[in-house]
Amino acid sequence: MLSRMMKSEPLELSPRRSAGVSFAASLSYNGIRHHFGSKQVLNGIDLVAEPGGILCLLGPSGSGKTTLLRIAAGIERQTDGRLYLNEQEIAGPDVFLPPEQRGVGLMFQDYALFPHMTLAENVAFGLTGLSSRAQKEAAGTALERVGLSARASQYPHMLSGGEQQRVALARALAPRPSVLLMDEPFSGLDSRLKDTVRSDTLQILRETRATAIVVTHDAEEAMRMADRIALLRDGRLVQVGTAGDLYRRPADLFAAGFFSELNVVEGEARGGRVITPLGPVAETNRPDGTDLTVAVRLTGLRLNEAQDGIIGRIVTRRFLGGVDLFTVVVEGIDEPLRSRMRAGTISPEMRDVVVSVDPQDVIVFEKAGNDR
Ligand SMILES: Nc1ncnc2c1ncn2[C@@H]1O[C@H](COP(=O)(O)OP(=O)(O)OP(=O)(O)O)[C@@H](O)[C@H]1O
């Protein structure tokens, strides 16, 4: 519905100098708050999408990702705060630039292609600021960029899901937007197709050099695509950074859990070490007696066929192809722990194993404020 609203409006196009390449802008959210009725869904968002970069908005359902995108598009007007395109305020208490004047492109998960129009007509639709010859040329360039120029006269129903996605991308790119907004752009594709379409899209975004803001709820997808990831929870930014920042130095247990499956155990600082029922698992400079929450990635919980150490009893074992997934009960820990080990490392008849922890897969948080 969103994309149809956009398409019904003429797009105002600034003069373009280089075929198929956008002039990237920065888009800045400044103290953005938003309410739907009495419900607050965005709570003080400060965030910048850098020129030419790919920013992924990541978070669970209902965290406010789509609302942030709709505010950037001008389809929703924020309750409070200001939005800037480069230095220009485009939405704020006294300013509101309508969607068609913002130079943003939109691509939504249902693609919203018109079934009765050819691919070329679909892509040209909305380029109303241009002569019909220039429209055709722009549509042709955009279709060529996504590798579909040979099929320009075909109709959407003649295309696979992945090809339809590429047409939708071509349509969003045809006006050469300075910022491209994409809401779950791969969610309609099956998992095998998704990888190819995603990497093709990434390459096209790099070539066009548009600033892109991509909404996803899939951490791996964000890691594959983003230059920077903004992790949201309940309308607040939890953390912004590169995939490496968020994976290695998550701000809290919620952020850590979004990027890895975790075992969570209690710990305490003692003599410069983090002491847990699994033994000392990391170093710390926190004062003795500090209560800690210790997260151990599943790949970092090692099971060994050794004699000495902390004993765990295997309660389930699942073969997952390259790895075996175990659940293990360890004395002093209420919940069974989970471990991912290379398939075949532990012989099938083993029941009791020695459990150890790889310090690289340990993340330690102070207990206060660690609510999941
Ligand atoms: N038009 C609306 N009227 C009332 N509430 C809304 C409206 N649009 C969204 N919301 C609410 O705002 C909150 C944020 O929604 P939003 O769609 O931005 O989240 P999201 O992170 O994109 O979620 P999802 O991944 O499920 O799409 C949700 O609680 C949602 O129910």
What is the Å distance from ligand 1's center to 26 Cα? 25
Query: Same domain for 163 and 201?
Result: yes
Is there a contact between 301 and 338 (Cβ–Cβ < 8 Å)?
A: yes
Q: Give 86's pLDDT tier (boundaries 50, 70, 90).
A: very high
- Give the number of the atom of ligand 1 that is nearest the alpha carbon of residue 76: 1
How far CA 137 is from CA of 127, 131, 189, 303, in Å, comes to 11, 10, 29, 62
Residue at 339 is within a domain? yes
Of 198, 229, 253, the position where a domain reaches its end is 253
DSSP assignment, residue 229? E
* Pocket-testing residue among 38, 41, 58, ligand 1, by greatest number of atoms within 8 A of Cβ: 41
Predicted confidence at residue 45, as pLDDT, reads 98
Do 9 and 104 fall into the same domain? Answer: yes
Residue with tokens 């920042």: 245
CATH number at residue 13: 3.40.50.300
Residues 16-30, mean pLDDT to the nearest whole number: 67
Mutate to test the pocket of ligand 1, among 29, 36, 42, 221 (most ligand atoms within 8 A of CB): 36
pLDDT tens, position by position, 315-350: 999 999 999 999 999 988 989 999 999 999 999 888
Return the amino acid letter for 345: T
246 domain residue, yes or no: yes
Q: Rounded to whole angstroms, how far apart are CA atoms 207 and 199?
A: 12
Instruction: Grade residue 253 by pLDDT with cuts at 50, 70 and 90.
Output: very high
Task: State yes or no: ipTM above 0.95.
Answer: yes
269 in the same domain as 146: no
Same domain, 231 and 102: yes
Helix or strand (DSSP H, E) at 342? strand 337-342
Residue 225 CA: distances (Å) to CA of 53, 200, 299, 319, 362: 10, 11, 24, 30, 25
CA of 79 to the centre of ligand 1 (A): 15
**Tokens 């505010």 identify what position?**
71
* Mutational test site, ligand 1, from 5, 42, 43, 61, max ligand atoms within 8 Å of CB: 61
Residue nearest to atom 30 of ligand 1 (CA): 62
The model's pTM: 0.86
Nearest CA to ligand 1 atom 3: 36
Same domain, 163 and 225: yes
Comparing CA positions, the residue from 18, 13, 20, 17 lying closest to residue 206 is 20
Is there a domain that residue 166 lies in?
A: yes
Check whether residue 23 and residue 150 sit in a common domain.
yes
Residues 86 and 212 in one domain: yes
pLDDT-derived band at 108 (thresholds 50, 70, 90) equals confident
pLDDT digits (tens, 9 = 90+) for 281-310: 999 999 999 999 999 999 999 999 877 889
CA of 42 to the centre of ligand 1 (A): 10
Of 9, 67, 65, residue with least CA distance to 35: 67
In a domain? residue 371: no
The helix or strand, by DSSP H or E, that contains position 90, with its residue range, turns out to be: strand 88-92
From 198, 222, 253, give the residue that closes a domain: 253
Ligand 1 centroid to Cα of residue 305, in Å, is 50
Give the torsion through C-alpha atoms of 372, 333, 220, 325, to 10 deg: -150
In a domain, 53, yes or no: yes
User: Is residue 153 one of the residues assigned to a domain?
Assistant: yes
Please give the single-letter amino acid code of residue 360: Q
Q: How many domains does the chain have?
A: 2
The answer to the question of residue 160 being in a domain is yes
Residue nearest to ligand 1 atom 25, measured at CA: 61
Task: Please determine, for residue 14, whether its predicted confidence score (pLDDT) is greater than 70.
Answer: no
Q: Which of 253, 268, 289 is the last residue of a domain?
A: 253
Domain that holds residue 219: 2-253
In the numeric block, which tokens belong to residue 11?
């797009």
Residues within a 6 A CB radius of ligand 1 = 36, 41, 59, 61-67, 217
Per-residue pLDDT tens digits for 180-193: 999 998 887 777 77
Residues 111 and 246 in one domain: yes
Within a domain: residue 372?
no
Residues 139 and 175 grouped into a single domain: yes
- 230 and 197 within one domain: yes
**Candidate from 195-209, 222-236, 262-276 with smallest mean pLDDT:** 195-209
Q: Are residues 159 and 279 in the same domain?
A: no
Buried/exposed code over 292-304 (b: 16+ C-beta within 10 A; e: otherwise): bbbbbbbbbbbbb
